[in-house]
Amino acid sequence: MKLELKIYKKDKKTVEKTYRANAIELSFGTIRRTLQIIKPEELDLNDEQALGRTLLGAWTMVEPLFTDIFPGLTAEELDRAKLPEMVRIIRQVFAYLSEEIGRIGDSDPN
């Protein structure tokens, strides 16, 4: 799975830069921080408005999460990303985590 975050120029229409990452490259620290931001059992990940509000409410944790996912991303650039695109990335990360956790359980012989 590929993750992509577009950074817009100050006109908010023109893409200045695009960061890309593979979800498979997420470190445990990134996963841990993601789970600190969003408790999937408490939130409908299909409710984009609620997820957006959660991201805004946990901004101090969101910034390090995104800079870990996208090496080289700066706080100033993140300020020019669009919230719907950030919500999409968080949903992709949770889909990846759910799939990986399911595989661990399936491969456990106990």
The pLDDT tens digits of the residues spanning 25-67 come to 777 887 787 777 767 676 676 777 877 787 777 777 788 888 8
Query: Which residue, 30, 23, 84, 19, is CA-closest to 56?
Result: 84
Apex 2 CA angle, 59 and 41, nearest 5:
50
Determine which helix (DSSP H) or strand (DSSP E) holds 4, and give its type and residue range.
Answer: strand 2-8
The pair of structure tokens assigned to 58 is: 């946990």
Strand partners for 19: 5
pLDDT of residue 85: 92
pLDDT of residue 36: 76
Bigger pLDDT: 4 or 26? 4
Taking phi over 0 as left and psi of -120 to 50 as alpha, with beta for the rest, 11 belongs to alpha
Give this prediction's pTM: 0.75
Q: What is the mean pLDDT of residues 66-95?
A: 89
CA dist., res. 63 & res. 34, Å (int): 11
CA dist., res. 5 & res. 98, Å (int): 21
For residue 87, name the pLDDT band (cuts at 50, 70, 90): confident
